[in-house]
Amino acid sequence: MRDPHVLAAELLEWYDHHARVMPWRVSPKDKAAGQKPDPYRVWLSEIMLQQTTVAAVRDYFRVFTEIWPTVADLAAAKDADVMGAWAGLGYYARARNLLKCARTVVNDHGGVFPNDHATLLMLPGIGPYTAAAISSIAFDTPHTVVDGNVERVMARLFDIHEPLPTSKPALTEKAALLTPEQRPGCYAQAVMDLGATICTPKNPACGLCPWRPDCIARKEGTAAELPKKLPKKRKPTRLGIAYVVRRVDGAYLLETRPDKGLLGGMLGWPGSDWQDAEPQPAPPMPAEWRDVGAEARHTFTHFHLRLKVMTALVPMDRTPSRGTFIQQQDFKPSSLPTVMRKVFDLTQDT
């Protein structure tokens, strides 16, 4: 394998011609002309991209930056507005930490993202990967950025057969070996682009890869089986009940879920606990409840969820034990997290 400096230079040359166009990214041409990345946009995109695809994030990013173009704007936003704009993107703890981080940057750092890697790690919701990405992409300091794309490229380039996640330290070590002192931000994005567009999980386009002559897995014929992964544990299934109450004036009964836990801080339908056994009924008020005859099904990171959906139409004088009635003109199904929107959609089909 050739010198790491040569490999980095070749990848940067490839990136200069083939970089993906992203709404949060400064192109190589514009960066060469002196335009600097906006740390706010880099941070926002990296938080959104965690465990989510670029295709899913693009529209959310545009909405957020149109409504809240600066970190100060986001810090001043209402929690409910941000959570509503985030709805559907999943992993809602990210949205809560997004607000905490924005407010910390404004209150403790004068509205300016710190360019110190150690200080970035102290901000809410910023872990080692995100701190490295911000340091590298926004501030051009040589920190090694390792996401799923980079892991795949390194596993193939060095023919590493130890399965993920146990191989992560070895893959990170190899990635660090190649990270250059010059243009580290462009290089970090280049490796991610290489994995996303050329060194793909299936049918990699090896003939177009600038690192083709040096890829050990290509020479050994093992690229298709890398990176190896430990077998996934089977996800359990949990059961629950969701209660959709509509008042005669068209208002819907909704509640804000606790800050901690799944869907924390999001609006949702009152319901039972989610558990392995058949759930105990937990209606928010006495009513003539009707089973819609279908389940809302959703998969979270660690389990599958099946929700029985119950509906009721109640008079104006009915008082719920929990939740608040939201007037019809103020209710936006799009502000609900995905599983709660699935529940709502089932009530519209019956």
Dihedral of CA atoms 94, 95, 100, 101 in degrees, nearest 10, equals: 60
- Catalytic site residue 46? yes
User: What is the maximum alpha-carbon separation in the chain?
Assistant: 78
Q: Of 10, 13, 46, 66, which one is the catalytic site residue?
A: 46
Contact 204, 198 (CB under 8 A): yes
> Are 5 and 180 spatial neighbours (Cβ–Cβ below 8 Å)?
yes
Tell me the HSE value of 101 on the side-chain side, using a 13 A CA sphere. Answer: 26
Residues classed as catalytic: 46
